[in-house]
């Protein structure tokens, strides 16, 4: 089968379109013929080697973290899916590889595709949907009437998280550029801050939750300050904590290293009486099935910027890296 592989960790090295063996199907796995694959900044970070300390993929490996397709084979112990099912998933770490014609996925990481959206739309959902769900529902336990600040509202996670927060009944503030104001307003944002001309730190106060995705240290510090006492910040960009290393099953030395990396920000959070969490989202078919229900009930809709042909996967990655995409970017494999 054709696939785009990382042959060596490098920011300058493109993914390589090559022929690789079709994945083997273990007893708890299904083989999926991939129709479409979502493209994420995580794909670039993995290619660049930014996570190789705790996600050491052996090169060459197939990249890609989002997909939708059709089940073509099931393992002997699979009970939830059958051949012909339309499915979507964010495969588990060390089982990634959606920039390919086929992938083998554990049935617990898989969900039936929402019936009311296309394959392209479905492939855009799993990573950003699960990231938003795990941040707002599982960690923050966001409730009706609370205030949440979602950074980068027009991005992949932002466009999904705004809709999820509004479904829960929260008041949503977000940052975006003036050209995307109408988009985030239509998704449900209550307070929109133009990050080019306004400073959120002078506008927001007493927030219950912050979904943080900016890499600047000052933005993280100011984000902690707008929380009310007992409030929670969930960061998607770090620094990582020892708890993340533990959840990934890494040894005690990794836990110590990550605790040292996040020591400063955790001290600042403690001084302010707020909570700091780093989220490295995980595959979860059960949660994805809950997201399917919300999409089929038309509570949340996918936002896609561009669809690239499979052969232009590198161009799709470059576009995502530019930070200009509104919502998600997708590659059409089949």
CATH number, domain of 234, equals: 3.40.50.720
Statement to judge: residues 67 and 38 lie in one domain:
yes
Does residue 235 lie within any of the structural domains? yes
Q: Is residue 41 part of a domain?
A: yes
pLDDT tens for the chain, residues 1 to 334: 999 999 999 999 999 999 999 999 999 999 999 999 999 999 999 999 998 887 889 999 999 999 999 999 999 999 999 999 999 999 999 999 999 999 999 999 999 999 999 999 999 999 999 999 999 999 999 999 999 999 999 999 999 999 999 999 999 999 999 999 999 999 999 999 999 999 999 999 999 999 999 989 999 999 999 999 999 999 999 898 988 888 878 788 888 988 998 999 999 999 999 999 999 999 999 999 999 999 999 999 999 999 999 999 999 999 999 988 999 999 999 8
Looking at the fold, whether 97 and 213 belong to one and the same domain comes out as: no
Whether residues 153 and 110 share a domain: the answer is no
Q: Which DSSP state fits 57?
A: P
**Alpha-carbon gap, residue 246 to 31, rounded angstroms:** 30
**Do residues 84 and 209 share a domain?**
no
**208 assigned to some structural domain:** yes
The number of distinct structural domains making up the chain is 2
Residue 256 structure tokens: 């110590």
Show Cβ contacts of residue 182 under 8 Å, excluding neighbours closer than 6 positions. none
User: How far is Cα 34 from Cα 2, in angstroms, rounded to an integer?
Assistant: 11
pLDDT for res 267:
97
User: 96-108 pLDDT, tens per residue?
Assistant: 999 999 999 999 9
CB neighbours of 13 closer than 8 A, spacing ≥ 6? 6, 7, 47
C-alpha to C-alpha distance for 244 and 178, rounded to whole angstroms: 35
Q: Which domain holds residue 200?
A: 127-278
Tell me the pTM.
Answer: 0.97
Domain's final residue, options 261, 278, 295: 278
Q: How much is the pLDDT for 125?
A: 98
Whether 271 and 319 map to the same domain: the answer is no
Q: Which of these, 152, 168, 146, 302, lies nearest to 236 by C-alpha position? A: 152
Tell me what pLDDT residue 246 has.
84
Record the tokens describing residue 93, joined without a space.
């770490």
Do 134 and 267 belong to one domain? yes
Rg (CA), the chain: 19
11 shares its domain with 143:
no
The answer to whether position 34 is within a domain reads yes
Instruction: Name every residue whose Cβ is closer than 8 Å to that of residue 263 and which is 6 or more positions away in sequence.
Output: none
Count CB atoms within 10 A of the CB of residue 33.
15
- 289: nearest Cα among 297, 281, 278: 297
Q: Is residue 287 part of a domain?
A: no
Cβ atoms of 65 and 98 within 8 Å: the answer is: yes
Secondary structure of 137-206 in HEC code, one letter for each residue: HHHCCCCCCCEEEECCCCCHHHHHHHHHHHHHCCEEEEEECHHHHHHHHHHCCCEEEECCCCCHHHHCCC
- Measure the CA–CA gap between 243 and 245, rounded to whole angstroms: 5
Is residue 288 a contact partner of residue 94, using CB atoms and an 8 Å limit?
Answer: no
For 270, phi then psi, to 5°, come to -60, -40
Structure tokens at 131: 């990231």
- Considering the domain architecture, whether residues 270 and 154 belong to the same structural domain is answered as yes
Rounded Cα distance between 223 and 195, Å, is: 13
CATH number at residue 82: 3.90.180.10
Q: Evaluate whether residue 99 is within a structural domain.
A: yes
Residue 290 lies in a domain: no
Chain center to CA of 66 = 9
Q: Are residues 169 and 39 in the same domain?
A: no
Q: Looking at the structure, tell me whether residues 50 and 143 fall in a common domain.
A: no
Within-domain flag for 328: yes
Clarify whether residues 105 and 196 are in a common domain: no
- The verdict on 181 and 261 lying in the same domain is yes
């Amino acid at each position: 089968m054709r696939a785009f592989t990382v042959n060596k960790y490098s920011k300058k090295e493109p993914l390589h379109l090559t022929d690789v063996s079709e994945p083997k199907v273990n007893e708890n796995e299904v083989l999926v013929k991939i129709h479409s694959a979502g493209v994420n900044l995580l794909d670039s970070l993995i290619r660049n080697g930014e996570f190789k300390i705790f996600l050491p993929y052996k090169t060459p490996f197939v990249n890609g973290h989002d997909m939708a397709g059709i089940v073509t084979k099931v393992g002997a112990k699979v009970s939830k899916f059958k051949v012909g099912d339309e499915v979507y998933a964010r495969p588990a770490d060390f089982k990634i590889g959606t920039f390919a014609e086929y992938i083998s996925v554990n049935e617990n990481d898989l969900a039936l595709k929402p019936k009311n959206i296309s394959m392209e739309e479905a492939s855009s959902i799993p990573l950003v949907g699960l990231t938003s769900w795990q941040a707002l529902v599982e960690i923050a336990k966001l409730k009706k009437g609370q205030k949440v600040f979602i950074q980068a509202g027009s991005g992949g996670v932002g466009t999904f998280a705004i809709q999820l927060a509004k479904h829960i009944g929260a008041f949503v503030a977000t940052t975006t550029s003036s050209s995307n104001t109408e988009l985030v307003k239509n998704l449900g944002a209550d307070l929109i801050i133009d990050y080019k001309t306004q400073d959120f730190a002078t506008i927001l106060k007493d927030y219950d939750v912050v979904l943080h995705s900016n890499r600047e240290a000052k933005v993280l510090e100011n984000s902690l300050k707008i929380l009310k006492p007992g409030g929670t910040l969930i960061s998607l960009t770090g620094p990582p904590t020892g708890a993340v290393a533990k959840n990934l099953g890494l040894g005690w030395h990794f836990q110590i290293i990550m605790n040292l990396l996040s020591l400063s920000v955790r001290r600042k959070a403690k001084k302010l009486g707020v909570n700091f969490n780093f989220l490295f989202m995980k595959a979860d078919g059960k949660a994805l099935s809950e997201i399917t229900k919300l999409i089929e009930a038309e509570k949340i809709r996918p936002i896609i910027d561009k669809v690239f042909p499979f052969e232009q996967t590198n161009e799709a990655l470059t576009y995502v890296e530019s930070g200009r995409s509104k919502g998600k970017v997708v590659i059409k494999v089949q």
